[in-house]
Protein backbone atom coordinates (compact mmCIF):
# COMPACT_ATOMS: atom_id res chain seq x y z
CA UNK A 1 0.00 0.00 0.00
CA UNK A 2 1.02 3.63 -0.06
CA UNK A 3 -0.13 5.77 2.85
CA UNK A 4 2.74 8.24 3.12
CA UNK A 5 5.25 9.65 0.67
CA UNK A 6 7.75 12.47 0.18
CA UNK A 7 7.86 14.99 -2.65
CA UNK A 8 10.04 18.04 -3.29
CA UNK A 9 8.65 19.06 -6.67
CA UNK A 10 7.80 22.68 -7.46
CA UNK A 11 4.76 22.72 -9.78
CA UNK A 12 6.23 25.31 -12.17
CA UNK A 13 9.51 23.43 -12.41
CA UNK A 14 7.71 20.14 -12.95
CA UNK A 15 5.58 21.67 -15.71
CA UNK A 16 8.71 22.91 -17.48
CA UNK A 17 10.44 19.54 -17.15
CA UNK A 18 7.64 17.52 -18.73
CA UNK A 19 6.27 20.25 -21.06
CA UNK A 20 2.96 20.53 -19.24
CA UNK A 21 0.51 23.34 -18.54
CA UNK A 22 0.79 24.44 -14.92
CA UNK A 23 -2.79 24.73 -13.64
CA UNK A 24 -1.84 25.21 -10.00
CA UNK A 25 -3.36 28.60 -9.08
CA UNK A 26 -1.42 31.13 -7.07
CA UNK A 27 -3.81 30.54 -4.17
CA UNK A 28 -2.62 26.92 -4.08
CA UNK A 29 1.01 27.89 -3.64
CA UNK A 30 0.47 26.61 -0.11
CA UNK A 31 -1.01 23.19 0.40
CA UNK A 32 -3.97 22.65 2.71
CA UNK A 33 -5.15 19.45 4.28
CA UNK A 34 -7.94 18.13 6.43
CA UNK A 35 -7.20 16.14 9.53
CA UNK A 36 -5.71 12.77 8.65
CA UNK A 37 -7.93 10.39 10.52
CA UNK A 38 -6.76 7.34 8.57
CA UNK A 39 -3.18 6.08 8.44
CA UNK A 40 -1.04 3.85 6.31
CA UNK A 41 -0.40 0.91 8.58
CA UNK A 42 -2.95 1.13 11.33
CA UNK A 43 -0.13 1.78 13.80
CA UNK A 44 1.74 4.97 12.92
CA UNK A 45 0.31 8.12 14.43
CA UNK A 46 -1.48 10.90 12.59
CA UNK A 47 -2.35 14.32 13.86
CA UNK A 48 -5.04 16.90 13.16
CA UNK A 49 -4.36 19.77 10.81
CA UNK A 50 -1.81 22.31 12.02
CA UNK A 51 -1.06 25.83 10.77
CA UNK A 52 2.39 24.59 9.83
CA UNK A 53 0.97 21.93 7.50
CA UNK A 54 -1.48 24.41 5.98
CA UNK A 55 1.29 26.86 5.12
CA UNK A 56 3.72 24.32 3.64
CA UNK A 57 4.40 25.07 -0.07
CA UNK A 58 2.48 22.73 -2.34
CA UNK A 59 4.92 20.28 -3.85
CA UNK A 60 7.40 20.37 -0.95
CA UNK A 61 6.36 17.86 1.68
CA UNK A 62 8.49 15.19 3.31
CA UNK A 63 5.55 13.53 5.05
CA UNK A 64 2.51 13.58 2.76
CA UNK A 65 -0.56 12.03 4.38
CA UNK A 66 -4.04 11.27 3.02
CA UNK A 67 -6.36 14.30 2.58
CA UNK A 68 -3.35 16.51 1.78
CA UNK A 69 -3.46 18.54 -1.41
CA UNK A 70 -0.91 17.03 -3.80
CA UNK A 71 0.35 17.55 -7.33
CA UNK A 72 -0.91 15.32 -10.12
CA UNK A 73 -0.26 15.02 -13.85
CA UNK A 74 -3.24 14.56 -16.18
CA UNK A 75 -3.72 14.76 -19.94
CA UNK A 76 -6.85 16.67 -20.97
CA UNK A 77 -8.35 18.63 -23.81
CA UNK A 78 -8.76 22.39 -23.50
CA UNK A 79 -12.08 23.58 -22.04
CA UNK A 80 -12.21 26.22 -24.77
CA UNK A 81 -11.46 23.80 -27.60
CA UNK A 82 -12.43 20.21 -26.71
CA UNK A 83 -11.40 19.06 -30.18
CA UNK A 84 -7.77 20.07 -29.84
CA UNK A 85 -4.99 17.65 -28.99
CA UNK A 86 -4.88 16.84 -25.27
CA UNK A 87 -1.98 18.26 -23.26
CA UNK A 88 -0.23 17.32 -20.07
CA UNK A 89 -1.45 19.45 -17.18
CA UNK A 90 -0.29 19.85 -13.57
CA UNK A 91 -3.29 19.98 -11.22
CA UNK A 92 -3.62 20.09 -7.42
CA UNK A 93 -5.92 17.43 -6.00
CA UNK A 94 -7.04 16.09 -2.65
CA UNK A 95 -5.33 12.78 -1.89
CA UNK A 96 -8.29 10.55 -1.11
CA UNK A 97 -10.72 10.07 -3.98
CA UNK A 98 -14.26 11.38 -3.54
CA UNK A 99 -16.56 9.62 -6.05
CA UNK A 100 -18.69 11.96 -8.14
CA UNK A 101 -21.84 10.37 -6.68
CA UNK A 102 -20.83 10.89 -3.03
CA UNK A 103 -23.31 13.01 -1.06
CA UNK A 104 -20.61 14.80 0.94
CA UNK A 105 -16.87 14.82 1.54
CA UNK A 106 -15.37 13.00 4.48
CA UNK A 107 -18.23 10.64 5.34
CA UNK A 108 -17.20 7.59 3.33
CA UNK A 109 -13.99 5.51 3.31
CA UNK A 110 -10.72 7.39 2.89
CA UNK A 111 -9.95 6.17 -0.64
CA UNK A 112 -6.26 7.08 -0.84
CA UNK A 113 -5.33 3.69 -2.38
CA UNK A 114 -7.02 1.44 -4.92
CA UNK A 115 -5.97 -2.08 -5.87
CA UNK A 116 -4.92 -2.05 -9.52
CA UNK A 117 -6.24 -5.59 -10.01
CA UNK A 118 -9.81 -4.76 -9.03
CA UNK A 119 -10.25 -1.00 -9.47
CA UNK A 120 -12.28 -1.44 -12.66
CA UNK A 121 -14.78 -3.56 -10.72
CA UNK A 122 -15.38 -1.08 -7.89
CA UNK A 123 -18.13 1.53 -8.12
CA UNK A 124 -15.85 4.17 -6.57
CA UNK A 125 -13.20 3.78 -9.26
CA UNK A 126 -14.91 2.24 -12.30
CA UNK A 127 -15.56 5.53 -14.08
CA UNK A 128 -12.07 6.89 -13.39
CA UNK A 129 -10.43 3.74 -14.78
CA UNK A 130 -12.11 4.46 -18.12
CA UNK A 131 -11.10 8.07 -18.68
CA UNK A 132 -9.63 9.78 -15.59
CA UNK A 133 -6.20 8.32 -15.00
CA UNK A 134 -3.38 10.41 -13.60
CA UNK A 135 0.19 10.32 -12.35
CA UNK A 136 1.35 11.27 -8.85
CA UNK A 137 4.96 12.54 -8.73
CA UNK A 138 7.00 11.70 -5.66
CA UNK A 139 10.58 11.31 -4.49
CA UNK A 140 9.72 8.05 -2.76
CA UNK A 141 7.28 6.40 -0.40
CA UNK A 142 7.30 5.12 3.18
CA UNK A 143 6.31 1.71 4.39
CA UNK A 144 6.35 0.03 7.78
CA UNK A 145 7.68 -3.43 8.61
CA UNK A 146 6.96 -5.44 11.74
CA UNK A 147 9.75 -5.09 14.28
CA UNK A 148 10.60 -6.70 17.63
CA UNK A 149 8.39 -6.23 20.66
CA UNK A 150 9.18 -3.24 22.84
CA UNK A 151 9.97 -3.31 26.54
CA UNK A 152 6.25 -3.62 27.31
CA UNK A 153 5.84 -6.62 25.04
CA UNK A 154 3.95 -4.71 22.38
CA UNK A 155 4.83 -5.12 18.67
CA UNK A 156 6.64 -2.27 16.94
CA UNK A 157 6.72 -1.00 13.36
CA UNK A 158 9.95 0.02 11.63
CA UNK A 159 9.65 2.72 8.92
CA UNK A 160 11.45 2.38 5.60
CA UNK A 161 11.79 4.77 2.68
CA UNK A 162 11.78 3.48 -0.91
CA UNK A 163 13.18 5.73 -3.62
CA UNK A 164 15.12 5.49 -6.92
CA UNK A 165 18.76 4.62 -6.43
CA UNK A 166 19.77 7.22 -9.01
CA UNK A 167 17.89 10.05 -7.29
CA UNK A 168 15.35 10.55 -10.06
CA UNK A 169 11.65 11.21 -9.53
CA UNK A 170 8.92 8.56 -9.47
CA UNK A 171 5.52 8.85 -11.09
CA UNK A 172 2.84 6.58 -9.66
CA UNK A 173 -0.32 5.52 -11.46
CA UNK A 174 -3.46 7.06 -10.05
CA UNK A 175 -7.15 7.70 -10.69
CA UNK A 176 -9.04 10.94 -10.18
CA UNK A 177 -12.55 12.26 -9.87
CA UNK A 178 -14.51 15.52 -9.99
CA UNK A 179 -17.03 16.10 -7.21
CA UNK A 180 -19.66 18.86 -7.13
CA UNK A 181 -21.33 20.10 -3.96
CA UNK A 182 -25.04 19.80 -4.74
CA UNK A 183 -25.89 22.04 -1.79
CA UNK A 184 -23.83 24.92 -3.17
CA UNK A 185 -23.95 25.23 -6.95
CA UNK A 186 -21.53 28.17 -6.85
CA UNK A 187 -18.82 26.16 -5.10
CA UNK A 188 -15.87 25.14 -7.29
CA UNK A 189 -15.58 21.41 -8.06
CA UNK A 190 -13.36 19.28 -5.86
CA UNK A 191 -10.67 17.31 -7.68
CA UNK A 192 -9.45 14.26 -5.78
CA UNK A 193 -7.32 11.23 -6.53
CA UNK A 194 -6.18 7.83 -5.36
CA UNK A 195 -2.88 5.99 -5.89
CA UNK A 196 -3.05 2.52 -7.40
CA UNK A 197 -1.23 -0.28 -5.61
CA UNK A 198 -0.05 -3.66 -6.83
CA UNK A 199 1.85 -6.73 -5.63
CA UNK A 200 5.35 -5.84 -4.48
CA UNK A 201 8.21 -7.07 -6.64
CA UNK A 202 11.69 -8.30 -5.78
CA UNK A 203 13.32 -7.07 -2.57
CA UNK A 204 10.43 -4.66 -1.97
CA UNK A 205 8.41 -7.66 -0.80
CA UNK A 206 10.66 -7.91 2.25
CA UNK A 207 9.15 -4.67 3.55
CA UNK A 208 5.51 -5.03 2.45
CA UNK A 209 3.51 -7.25 0.12
CA UNK A 210 2.02 -4.22 -1.68
CA UNK A 211 3.57 -1.20 -3.39
CA UNK A 212 2.37 1.80 -5.41
CA UNK A 213 2.14 1.13 -9.14
CA UNK A 214 5.12 2.78 -10.81
CA UNK A 215 4.37 4.11 -14.29
CA UNK A 216 7.50 4.31 -16.51
CA UNK A 217 7.75 7.24 -18.93
CA UNK A 218 7.35 5.00 -21.98
CA UNK A 219 3.80 4.16 -20.81
CA UNK A 220 2.62 7.70 -20.08
CA UNK A 221 0.88 8.28 -23.40
CA UNK A 222 -1.22 5.14 -23.13
CA UNK A 223 -1.92 5.60 -19.43
CA UNK A 224 -2.98 9.25 -19.56
CA UNK A 225 -4.89 9.14 -22.87
CA UNK A 226 -8.31 10.67 -21.99
CA UNK A 227 -10.00 9.29 -25.11
CA UNK A 228 -9.11 5.61 -24.91
CA UNK A 229 -8.97 2.96 -22.18
CA UNK A 230 -5.54 2.03 -20.86
CA UNK A 231 -4.11 -1.33 -21.96
CA UNK A 232 -4.76 -3.96 -19.30
CA UNK A 233 -1.06 -4.76 -19.02
CA UNK A 234 -0.42 -1.31 -17.54
CA UNK A 235 -2.32 -2.40 -14.42
CA UNK A 236 0.19 -5.24 -13.82
CA UNK A 237 3.07 -5.10 -11.31
CA UNK A 238 6.25 -3.39 -12.54
CA UNK A 239 9.05 -5.40 -14.07
CA UNK A 240 11.90 -6.67 -11.90
CA UNK A 241 14.15 -4.19 -13.70
CA UNK A 242 11.99 -1.28 -12.53
CA UNK A 243 11.71 -2.66 -8.99
CA UNK A 244 15.45 -3.36 -8.73
CA UNK A 245 16.12 0.35 -9.40
CA UNK A 246 14.39 1.22 -6.10
CA UNK A 247 16.57 1.53 -3.03
CA UNK A 248 15.33 0.62 0.46
CA UNK A 249 16.56 2.22 3.66
CA UNK A 250 15.38 2.28 7.24
CA UNK A 251 14.53 5.78 8.44
CA UNK A 252 13.74 7.51 11.70
CA UNK A 253 10.43 6.88 13.49
CA UNK A 254 9.97 10.66 13.32
CA UNK A 255 7.95 9.95 10.18
CA UNK A 256 5.30 8.27 12.33
CA UNK A 257 3.85 11.69 13.16
CA UNK A 258 2.62 13.78 10.24
CA UNK A 259 3.50 17.01 12.06
CA UNK A 260 7.17 16.06 11.70
CA UNK A 261 8.26 17.32 8.31
CA UNK A 262 11.73 17.97 6.91
CA UNK A 263 14.66 16.36 5.08
CA UNK A 264 15.76 14.64 8.29
CA UNK A 265 12.89 12.18 7.78
CA UNK A 266 14.73 10.77 4.76
CA UNK A 267 18.07 10.27 6.53
CA UNK A 268 19.12 6.64 7.11
CA UNK A 269 18.32 5.49 10.63
pTM of the complete model: 0.89
Domains in the chain, please, with CATH?
A: 4-23+56-266 (3.90.1680.10)
pLDDT tens readout for residues 213-265: 999 999 999 999 999 999 999 999 999 999 999 999 999 999 999 999 999 99
Residues sharing a CB contact under 8 Å with residue 80, sequence separation 6 or more, in sequence order: none
Q: Give all strands of the β-sheet with 156-164 in edge-to-edge order.
A: 60-64, 5-8, 140-147, 156-164, 246-250
Bridge partners, 178 (sequence order): 191
In the prediction, which pLDDT does 157 show?
Answer: 93
pLDDT tens readout for residues 46-76: 333 444 444 456 778 999 999 999 999 999 9
Q: Which percentage of the chain shows pLDDT scores above 90?
A: 76
Cβ atoms < 10 Å from Cβ of 249: 14
Amino acid sequence: MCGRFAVTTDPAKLAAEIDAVNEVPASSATGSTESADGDATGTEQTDSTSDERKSRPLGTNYNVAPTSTILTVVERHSHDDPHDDPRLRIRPMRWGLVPSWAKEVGKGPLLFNARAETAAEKSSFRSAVKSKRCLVPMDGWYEWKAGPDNSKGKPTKIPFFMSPKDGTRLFMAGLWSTWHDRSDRDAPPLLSCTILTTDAVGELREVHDRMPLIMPFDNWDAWLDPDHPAPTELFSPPSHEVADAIGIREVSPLVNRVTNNGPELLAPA
